[in-house]
Amino acid sequence: MERAEPQPNLIKLTDSEDLRLREPLQNIRGLDAYDSNGEQIGTVEDLYVDQEAQFPRFLDVGTGGLLGIGKKHFLVPFEEVSRRVSEEERVIVNQNRDKVLGSPDFDPAEMPEVDFQRAVYAYYGYS
């Protein structure tokens, strides 16, 4: 599989007031994320965007927890996501739920370093 190179210039979309995505439809924050079998994984909490290309590289998918306590976050490469026009309120992660939930631990309070980005890409089968 081809993929984008890990980027040192990522920014969390919610942390940038003036960054605009090249394609507004790529802003999928707040949408529910489902796996390839139709099982709900969680919600797209945020996007990590390549500032130069104005293109999302990763999704922060949050799942579980009650009132924010115990919630887990997973970083998913943007290449793993598809969206059907008929399903405006959801995105599909092209993996099963267990694969996403087994991905490397992610703390959304920290910016993902290039090595962590590589680990996430490798986990999803990108060379």
| pLDDT digits 0-9 by tens, 103-126 | 988 999 999 999 999 999 999 998
Query: Rounded to 5 degrees, what are φ and ψ at 62?
Result: -100, 140
Work out the pLDDT band at 17, boundaries 50, 70, 90.
confident
Report the pLDDT value the prediction gives residue 20, as an integer from 0 to 100: 82
Residues 6+ apart with CB under 8 A from 24: none
In this structure, are residues 99 and 79 in contact, taking their beta carbons and an 8 Å threshold? no
Average pLDDT over residues 82-108: 87
Average pLDDT over residues 81-92: 80
Q: Is the pLDDT of residue 65 over 80?
A: no
In this structure, are residues 68 and 82 in contact, taking their beta carbons and an 8 Å threshold? no
Give this prediction's pTM.
Answer: 0.86
